[in-house]
Amino acid sequence: MDSNCGLGAEPKHSSAREEASLHQGAAAAMPDTSGLNFFAQDHHLSFVLKRYLTAEEVEKAFPHLSRLGQAAGSELDELARRADKHAPQLIQYNAKGERIDTVEYHPSYREMEAIGYREFGLVAMSHRPGVLGWTTRFPHVLKYAFWYVFAQSEFGLCCPMSMTDSAARILEQFASPELQQSYLPKLTSTDLDDLWTAAQFMTEKQGGSDVGANTVVAKKVGQTWEIWGDKWFCSNVSADVALVLARPEGAPAGTKGLGLFLVPRKLQDGSLNRYAIQRLKDKLGTRDMASGEVTFQGALAYVIGELDSGFKQMMAMVNSSRLSNAVRSAGMMRRSYLEALVSARGRQAFGQTLAQLPLMQETLIELLLDSEAAASTVLHTANVYDRADTGSAQDKTLLRILTPILKGYICKRARYVAAEAMEVRGGNGYIEDWVNPKLVRDTHLGSIWEGTTNIMALDVLRALVKDLAGEAFFHDIDVRLSNQKDPLAQKMAQWLQGLTSRIQVQIQRMTANGHPNREWPAKHLMNRMYHLFAASLLLEEADLQITQDGSYGRLVLTLQYVIRHLLSSGCDDLVFAHESLMPWVDALIDGEHVPQSVANGLFARLEQMPATLPPVSSSDVYGRL
């Protein structure tokens, strides 16, 4: 009998080298994105940006985006995860018992501020020239590309940066020359010693989404204004400047009676303004950024713009932040997808990598579609933003409806994508040592912050009824669908044009219904409009890719998107993909050349599906979609 066998056998010990090898193998089997350049990994982002930027802009911007992408995959990510575990602390009193209301942040948070505000000028870039060597202000398309990459590692700090950016825009549009001269240079500074950050204090206990119920009062005392009352949810509560909605004494009820005021944290003599931070919120996510409750006790304030236009002016700030919110949620979707891809390609199961298994391939394609559709829609809308800023009335109306559509859908969908990516990683994905729990927690804020999904859906309905924004929305889509060059892309465009007509009829019936219950399907309508908008952009990208290099990869992805989100009724054949697709999954993921035959196979699948959506009954008081 072998001396090492049997009940009394001695255990066999590995050498130190063997143990090290086994440990390295186990560690390698648990891959993550650490050290990756998030910009260099994202071939889709580069492809889309080249559609909107000149060759000179691409040459100047891409090295900076690459530098940010490298930071996002290394130091920025490390700082973000460290700061997430060390929430800010409110110090209300000093040793002498004097009220100081100081918020102390972890050093990692301060280091991230240096990267965001100073190194890359993410706030200043859209307000003044000179940032990153740019001779003009950054166009919104390029600005949001930087934010998209930054948000893949850090979402919490994006809140103060976004509100500072939006506050500067509000001052540029509505404030007096005196306020602009006093505050704009500080809000757009890249010198941390000179920088002031901003916040918007809008939410009250009894108000919430019903801002018209707000009760914080503005009192005129001589030539100055004082603010009195409580604000319930104040993110970036330690901001140097807060834009505050308050009701002047004697003003009417509702939103029409609200004024917009600038409230500095400190007075000119360096003393604290008369408001107190009562406590910080114990939040599910964005734990590294301080949100709190504030009581105004006669705080000195300055009127911004017209006293009776405060709500409209604040909503201009909120709408800007809403688009920025969608960009950041899209960035987190991209990070979640990348984590899932790296994990699935690095893990072995049943003799293969997870990414070689059909069901995992289906999951990865789903996450890829969600991520790339979100990136395409936010960057196109950023381009609309640029055109609207030049005075285009058509684009202002288009921006009016695109902003709530994107904020409503993308921010909610980001929750799903983050949760699916966590599941791809398995048990490790549930452990706080990995980035997935942070992504799941942070993505939940996007669809609450600056208006819930329901509020966005109602805003879309309002834009259709009050602003007649449907015409601009469908015109934008129709122009794209009418300009396809490749025969297969033209065929896909015809399908989408049919769906467009159906949705337009549904909107007409829904908006013509004066019954309050027409709001019932508003979320479904918003989602359907998003998918149509996204599909038209993906198709435009597909046609461009075919023209440029003869690859049908993006057309295949467009077909997948349309089948999943616009043509599958839930009772159709469960097969989303034709068998010709399966060998090309890696090529689709990596942006490599895909032949026309793969698209032909999917078109054969598409032609087996119903060509129409269920009709809408005109007698349905709910305006069923």
pLDDT digits (tens, 9 = 90+) for 76-108: 999 999 999 999 999 999 999 999 999 999 999
Given pLDDT bands bounded at 50, 70 and 90, which one contains residue 552?
very high
Q: Are 374 and 327 in contact (CB under 8 A)?
A: no
How many CA atoms lie within 13 Å of 532's alpha carbon, on the beta-carbon side? 27
Distance, in Å, from the CA atom of 333 to the CA atom of 38, rounded to the nearest integer, reads: 13
pLDDT at residue number 317: 75
pLDDT at residue number 607: 75
Three-state secondary structure call for residue 330: helix
Q: What is the DSSP string of 362-415?
A: HHHHHHHHHHHHHHHHHHHHHHHHHHHHTT-HHHHHHHHHHHHHHHHHHHHHHH
pLDDT at residue number 5: 41
pLDDT at residue number 286: 96
Q: Whole-number mean pLDDT of the chain?
A: 90
Give the bridge partners for 295, in sequence order: 230, 276
Q: Are 184 and 262 in contact (CB under 8 A)?
A: no
Three-state secondary structure call for residue 543: helix
Q: Are 131 and 376 in contact (CB under 8 A)?
A: no
Query: What 8-state DSSP symbol labels residue 307?
Result: G
Altogether, the residues listed in the chain come to a count of: 625
Task: Using the predicted structure, report yes or no on whether residue 623 has a pLDDT greater than 50.
Answer: no
- For tokens 């002047």, the residue is 248
- For tokens 């090309």, the residue is 584
Give the bridge partners for 89, in sequence order: 104
> How does pLDDT run across 206-249, given as a tens digit for each residue?
767 788 888 999 999 999 999 999 999 999 999 999 999 999 99
Mean pLDDT value across residues 322-332: 96
Distance, in Å, from the CA atom of 452 to the CA atom of 210, rounded to the nearest integer, reads: 12
CA 92: distance to chain centroid? 34
Distance, in Å, from the CA atom of 597 to the CA atom of 488, rounded to the nearest integer, reads: 11
pLDDT at residue number 614: 41
Mean pLDDT value across residues 360-365: 95
pLDDT at residue number 463: 95
> How does pLDDT run across 129-138, given as a tens digit for each residue?
999 999 999 9
pLDDT at residue number 396: 95
pLDDT at residue number 512: 86
Task: Using the predicted structure, report yes or no on whether residue 617 has a pLDDT greater than 70.
Answer: no
Given pLDDT bands bounded at 50, 70 and 90, which one contains residue 371?
very high
pTM above 0.85, yes or no: yes
How many CA atoms lie within 13 Å of 241's alpha carbon, on the beta-carbon side? 29
Task: Using the predicted structure, report yes or no on whether residue 2 has a pLDDT greater than 50.
Answer: no
pLDDT at residue number 372: 98
Give the bridge partners for 227, in sequence order: 218, 299
pLDDT at residue number 612: 41
pLDDT at residue number 578: 63
SS (H, E, C) 94-139: CCCCCEEEEEECCHHHHHHHHHHHHHCCCCHHHCCCCHHHCCCCCC
pLDDT at residue number 26: 56
Q: Are 381 and 402 in contact (CB under 8 A)?
A: yes
| 341 Cβ contact list (under 8 Å, min separation 6) | 355, 364, 367, 368, 589
Distance, in Å, from the CA atom of 453 to the CA atom of 288, rounded to the nearest integer, reads: 24
Mean pLDDT value across residues 521-542: 97
Q: List the Cα angle 550/552/558 in 5-degree steps.
A: 145
pLDDT at residue number 622: 34
Task: Using the predicted structure, report yes or no on whether residue 276 has a pLDDT greater than 90.
Answer: yes
| 330 Cβ contact list (under 8 Å, min separation 6) | 148, 151, 371, 374, 375, 377, 378, 410, 414
Distance, in Å, from the CA atom of 304 to the CA atom of 176, rounded to the nearest integer, reads: 7
* Two structure tokens written together for 568: 């599958």
Q: Are 300 and 273 in contact (CB under 8 A)?
A: yes
Helices and strands (H, E) in the chain, number of each type: 19, 11
Phi, psi torsion values for 296, nearest 5 degrees: -85, 130
382: left (phi over 0), alpha (psi -120 to 50) or beta: alpha
Among the residue ranges 28-37, 176-185, 231-240, 281-290, the one predicted with the least confidence is 28-37
The secondary element (H helix, E strand) that includes residue 246 is strand 241-248
Q: Are strands 291-303 and 259-264 parallel, antiparallel or unpaired?
A: antiparallel
Distance, in Å, from the CA atom of 370 to the CA atom of 365, rounded to the nearest integer, reads: 9
Among the residue ranges 74-88, 147-161, 228-242, 560-574, the one predicted with the least confidence is 560-574
> How does pLDDT run across 389-415, given as a tens digit for each residue?
999 999 999 999 999 999 999 999 999
Distance, in Å, from the CA atom of 394 to the CA atom of 405, rounded to the nearest integer, reads: 17
Give the bridge partners for 534, in sequence order: none
Task: Using the predicted structure, report yes or no on whether residue 616 has a pLDDT greater than 60.
Answer: no
pLDDT at residue number 572: 63
Q: Are strands 241-248 and 198-201 parallel, antiparallel or unpaired?
A: parallel
The one-letter code for the residue type at 37 is N
Mean pLDDT value across residues 102-115: 98
> How does pLDDT run across 473-496, given as a tens digit for each residue?
999 999 999 999 999 999 999 999
Q: From residue 8, how far is each of 12, 13, 15 by CA, in Å?
A: 12, 15, 22
Distance, in Å, from the CA atom of 170 to the CA atom of 13, rounded to the nearest integer, reads: 70
Query: How many Cβ atoms from other residues are within 10 Å of residue 118's Cβ?
Result: 16
Mean pLDDT value across residues 536-556: 97
Mean pLDDT value across residues 97-125: 97
Given pLDDT bands bounded at 50, 70 and 90, which one contains residue 604?
confident
Task: Using the predicted structure, report yes or no on whether residue 602 has a pLDDT greater than 50.
Answer: yes
Distance, in Å, from the CA atom of 267 to the CA atom of 271, rounded to the nearest integer, reads: 5
Q: Are 342 and 336 in contact (CB under 8 A)?
A: no
Distance, in Å, from the CA atom of 221 to the CA atom of 299, rounded to the nearest integer, reads: 11
pLDDT at residue number 143: 97
Q: Are 125 and 168 in contact (CB under 8 A)?
A: no
- For tokens 């939940």, the residue is 444
91: left (phi over 0), alpha (psi -120 to 50) or beta: beta
Q: Are strands 275-280 and 291-303 parallel, antiparallel or unpaired?
A: antiparallel
| Percent of residues, the chain, with pLDDT higher than 90 | 80
Three-state secondary structure call for residue 276: strand
Q: What is the dihedral of CA 53, 149, 542, 595, to 10 degrees?
A: 120
For 218-236, b/e burial (b = at least 16 CB within 10 A) is beeeeeebbbbbbbbbbbb
Q: Are strands 241-248 and 217-221 parallel, antiparallel or unpaired?
A: parallel
> How does pLDDT run across 501-511, given as a tens digit for each residue?
999 999 999 88
Q: What is the DSSP string of 215-228?
A: --EEEEETTEEEEE
Distance, in Å, from the CA atom of 488 to the CA atom of 499, rounded to the nearest integer, reads: 17
Mean pLDDT value across residues 459-463: 95
> How does pLDDT run across 517-526, given as a tens digit for each residue?
889 999 999 9
Task: Using the predicted structure, report yes or no on whether residue 576 has a pLDDT greater than 80.
Answer: no
